Structure 1
Amino acid sequence: MYSSLLTSLLALTTVETAVAASQCTARPPFLNKLAQDNGKLWFGTAADIPGTAEQTDTQYLKILTNNKYFGEMTPANMMKFMYTEPEQNVFNFTGGDYFLDLAEKNGLRVRCHNLVWNSQLSDWVTSRNWTAPELTAVMKNHIYNLVGHFGGRCYSWDVVNEALAGDGSFSSSIWYDTIGSEYFFLAYQFAQEAVEQTGADIKLYYNDYGIESPGVKTTAAYNLVKELQSRKIKIDGVGLESHFEVGGTPSVAAQVAAKQGYIALGVDVVVTELDVRFVQAPFYTAAGEATQAQNYYDSVASCMKVGPGCIGVTVWDFVDKYSWVPSSFPGQGGATIYNDTFQRKPAFYAIGEALTGAPCTVC
């Protein structure tokens, strides 16, 4: 459990909570610095840049590009298929290059996201019937071109994103429905070949949700790692998306157990898309934010408890103003660590405490 500081804020209004939290330290905890000081590679965030209001929001950019707060950036959209290959074999790297330029200018690493997924595909991929060899060639060409272009500027690639259904079977997708389960292993084979051609040290990850605590889907993810390893195909880590609901987040023990299972297979784990959403309004009450803070604490603490095998934590954007949640889950929201007006929530300070194991008064 985290300290009683945030619990003591329950009787305060939302504004009073923000003020009291800001007074708990002479300056707000520098989350990335705390993560790195305590053995992690980063505390990071996703950002949907360029092409959205984030690109020109000076308040947003001031926080995003402060590498004491964030040491890693994940492109929320700009490296996905529909943006990078809008027409067959016609590539557009402008958005991805812009994102990488911004990250590098400010000393942030980038997890490149993603190469093969069922969503956000270009129309030319989904609008025709392919044979398995034809679509396999499309996939290979896409992977080779993206990995080759961005090269070692990417710390890692999410090679396949969200391949599994809740029961642990492969989800229906144009890739699976056309090529079969072999598409998954071919994607990693092609990514490994492409990485070798660059000569760079680029990590290859599998990324999914619902694999953060023990269960059939998590076991299926373990088995995918084992199968890749048995074929001697490169797999360096697994990304645990960690999109949770307030009051419904897996316990620390459950998250630790799942992470230890991946680490035992010899791969890294990283929390890749952490947010904790309210399933209904109001989003900004002291009681609700205290529960949310505990949920954030539990997720970050689980990464700390398993040691260096969990390399870091990334939140899926950091301010409610730009969260993906309201558009994807109508009526839900309040999922990030800053509210709509860029005030730090109790969750922000709970993360600092999870990273250090000490109350935020000494962060």
Structure 2
Amino acid sequence: MRLLRSGFAPLATGLTALAALLVAAPAAQAADAPLRDLAHAKGRAIGTAVTGSKLTGTYGEIAGREFNWLTPGNAMKWESVEPSRGTFNWAEADRIVEFAEANGQQVRGHTLVWHSQNPGWLTNGTWTPAQLSTLLKDHIDTEMTRYKGRVDAWDVVNEPFNEDGTYRSTIWSNGLGTDYIAQALTWARAADPSAELYINDYNVEGVNAKSTALYNLVRSLKQRGVPIDGVGLQAHLILGQVPSTLQQNIQRFADLGVDVHITELDIRMQLPATEAKLTQQAGDYRAVMDACLAVSRCTGVTVWGFTDSDSWIPDWFEGYGAATPYDENFAPKPAYHAIAASLGGGTTEPPGDGCKATYRVVNQWGGGFTGEVRIDCTGAALRAWTAKWDFGAGQRITQAWNASCTQSGTSVTCSNASYNGTVPDGGSVTFGFNASWSGSNPVPVVTLS
């Protein structure tokens, strides 16, 4: 749960060129189905980290209704389950596993081998390599055996790399050498042969030095025959900073023959939250979901807490928060609706033949412009909408409002926010965006769906 992320063409200021698209648009209704049903229909997981003691009332109801996977946020970490040597406390972890079983959910175990949240008796001890190896093997055996057949996937090794791709200096790498990773995976397979085994890390979402080191490790493990089933990309992201190479990175791991899971997704913003920030956040959530869904071996997405009231972000990043799909009062945010839309939420109705979208450039300057799309309905109505177009001249959206907008290559997709999906007969809705341009800025044709 750690992150640290951490024109030479003549200007046409005030350009008002219009491009209308008179395309029949099917009206879609916002999804009533829970996220877990939408994800199941696509063969994917939609999970959340949870706190076991909170699995009652509204928190428990949402956790059970919306998600088909649960991850214990802290309850399965070494300091939680064995605070004193030989003295175990399984109450919190048991509660989460039992809740999942009662609600037809699967469980992701988190985490067996980590440099952090280890008990003091372990970190303050003086151990020979043989003793340390025995301690680690016994820990893996004990925890995995307890939940054998009940935990479906494990983050066996968590955060083994530094930002530059070198191995992190930890009690494990220092005491056992870097092959502790292979040893841990081998012991884990023996402890529960049916569980999926993952290596999990942060700041490895895009192609960079750290993710390449992880890629090389997984490739080496596969070549050596070491059991490894998947890679976890944590995805503790900052508003507006979804890596452009996310899908490419997921695909290259999949090409190694392993699964990929987005394990700890949250997208933090500087507070206070505003309508524009929440709209951007929704677009970012959708971009992550869409990238995962585009790769067959991306098994799904887990959010690191579904409500802002249970998020770790404010405690770690001063002035930041609002990082999850639900607000502190358990109301779904635009991000929730973006996840649902990515998963195919909504029902289609007969085409709204009288609905059209009109694109215009409101203002343009060297290197950037403000655009606007207006959706008008006459003789038809919409209960949700998505507008799509291609920026064939290299334009890139940098910010959007009143819509959740994502861009992959030249393709732009903008979906309604939670508050403006309905366009009645005779009504209209408008959304806008800022974008960059260079050389030319032709008006695209927009389609509605």
Q: Same fold (TM over 0.5)?
A: yes
Matched residue of 1:204: which SS? strand
- The aligned counterpart of 1:328 is 316
What is the distance in 1 between the residues matched to 2:157 and 2:39?
Answer: 27
Q: Tell me which of 342, 350, 357 is aligned to 1:354.
A: 342
- The aligned counterpart of 2:286 is 297
8 A Cα contact 2:236 2:266, kept in partner:
yes
- The aligned counterpart of 1:65 is 64
The question of 1:143 aligning with 2:146 is answered no
Q: Tell me which of 43, 46, 69 is aligned to 2:46.
A: 43
What is the distance in 2 between the residues matched to 1:294 and 1:55?
Answer: 29
8 A Cα contact 1:163 1:208, kept in partner:
yes
Counterpart mapping for 1:175-254 below 5 A: 175-196=172-193, 201-251=194-244, 254=245
Q: Tell me which of 86, 94, 98 is aligned to 2:91.
A: 94
- The aligned counterpart of 1:10 is none
Encode CA deviations 1:63-96: one digit per residue, 9 max, x unaligned.
1111xx1101000011000011222233332221
Higher helix share: 1
What is the distance in 1 between the residues matched to 2:188 and 2:49?
Answer: 23
What is the distance in 1 between the residues matched to 2:91 and 2:272?
Answer: 39
8 A Cα contact 1:228 1:235, kept in partner:
yes
8 A Cα contact 1:115 1:143, kept in partner:
yes
The question of 1:316 aligning with 2:319 is answered no
Matched residue of 1:65: which SS? helix
- The aligned counterpart of 1:33 is 37
Look up the equivalent residue of 1:294 and give its one-letter code. Answer: G
Structure 2 unmatched runs, 5+: 1-27, 348-382, 386-420, 422-449
Look up the equivalent residue of 2:384 and give its one-letter code. Answer: T
The question of 1:343 aligning with 2:331 is answered yes
CA RMSD of aligned residues (A): 1.8
8 A Cα contact 2:133 2:176, kept in partner:
yes
TM-score (norm 1): 0.85
Structure 1 unmatched runs, 5+: 1-23
Q: Tell me which of 271, 294, 309 is aligned to 1:281.
A: 271
How many Å apart are 1:306 and its aligned residue? 1.0
Of all paired residues, the percent bearing the same amino acid is 40
Encode CA deviations 1:36-66: one digit per residue, 9 max, x unaligned.
11231x211110113xxx244x111111111
What is the distance in 1 between the residues matched to 2:345 and 2:51?
Answer: 31
Look up the equivalent residue of 2:94 and give its one-letter code. Answer: D
How many Å apart are 1:129 and its aligned residue? 2.1
Larger Rg: 2
Matched residue of 2:343: which SS? helix
What is the distance in 2 between the residues matched to 1:27 and 1:351?
Answer: 10
How many Å apart are 1:210 and its aligned residue? 1.1
Counterpart mapping for 1:128-139 below 5 A: 128-139=125-136
- The aligned counterpart of 2:12 is none
Look up the equivalent residue of 2:52 and give its one-letter code. Answer: I
Look up the equivalent residue of 2:281 and give its one-letter code. Answer: Q
8 A Cα contact 1:212 1:218, kept in partner:
yes
What is the distance in 2 between the residues matched to 1:243 and 1:172?
Answer: 22
**C-alpha distance 86-35 of structure 1, shift in aligned 2 (>3 A):** same
8 A Cα contact 1:29 1:349, kept in partner:
no
TM-score (norm 2): 0.69
